[in-house]
Chains A and B, each alone.
Chain A
Amino acid sequence: AQTVTQSQPEMSVQEAETVTLSCTYDTSESNYYLFWYKQPPSRQMILVIRQEAYKQQNATENRFSVNFQKAAKSFSLKISDSQLGDTAMYFCAFIQVIQGAQKLVFGQGTRLTINP
């Protein structure tokens, strides 16, 4: 079964610092998709960034970037110039597609606090 592991339950950094959240996953598939979602206290799940496994180039969205290491099955999220609004739970997620059916599998989350 596919699993997603986030080894950092909580992290805390100062505003404007750079922070990296770790994620590893386990799959026997060769083509898949990885995502980072953010869940602020409002509980709204927000898609932050996505990465297709067949792409070697790491995805970037403004201050958010990933380090995708396919061989190591690692998918970390880097937040540059962190802001107070980045305070949230961050979930790494992996999508498996089997016979047209898709299932998004989430890690346990990392609670990130940005301090002023």
Chain B
Amino acid sequence: SAVISQKPSRDICQRGTSLTIQCQVDSQVTMMFWYRQQPGQSLTLIATANQGSEATYESGFVIDKFPISRPNLTFSTLTVSNMSPEDSSIYLCSVEIHGYEQYFGPGTRLTVT
């Protein structure tokens, strides 16, 4: 497995502002993923972030709203831009270690007021 950390663990933000979430893993990984978990819901993939290439976004998610950086093999950031209350969710990063197994960070709980 891997040790994955996320910062911040939670935040309360005002609408119209942006928040950048950091994801750090203790080993080099090729594939990192960002998910959203809306209140009481399941997880939905936002995008796949591979080092050295542009992130690949899923239907319904766009780069202007959720820009992602992947500067190296152990780190990634997700920014939630121009936030509205509908963006209140848990945001989780994950990494693929081997054999398509994904391991998750502890999540960032975002509340937009």
Contact = CB atoms under 8 A, between A and B. Distances in A.
Interface in B62-113: 90, 92, 94, 96, 99-104, 106-107, 109
Interface stretch (B11-19, B20-28, B41-49): B41-49
Interface residues on B, range: 20 to 34
B3 to A, nearest CB: 12
Given A91-B42, A107-B42, A108-B42, A102 B100 contact: yes
A44 B93 CA distance: 11
Contacts of A107: 42
Nearest to B43: A106
B29 interface: no
B33 A43 contact: no
B74 to A, nearest CB: 19
Nearest to A52: B99
B58 interface: yes
Contacts of A35: 101
Nearest to A33: B100
A101 B42 contact: no
A97 interface: yes
Contacts of A102: 31, 48, 96, 100
B58 A103 contact: yes
Contact of A101 (B48, B94, B106): B48
A42 B107 CA distance: 9
A97 B45 CA distance: 14
B107 A44 contact: yes
A61 to B, nearest CB: 13
Interface in A44-85: 44-47, 50
A42 B106 contact: yes
Given A43-B106, A45-B92, 4 more contacts: A43-B109, A45-B94, A102-B48, A109-B42
Interface of B: 1, 31, 33, 41-45, 48, 56, 58, 90, 92, 94, 96, 99-104, 106-107, 109
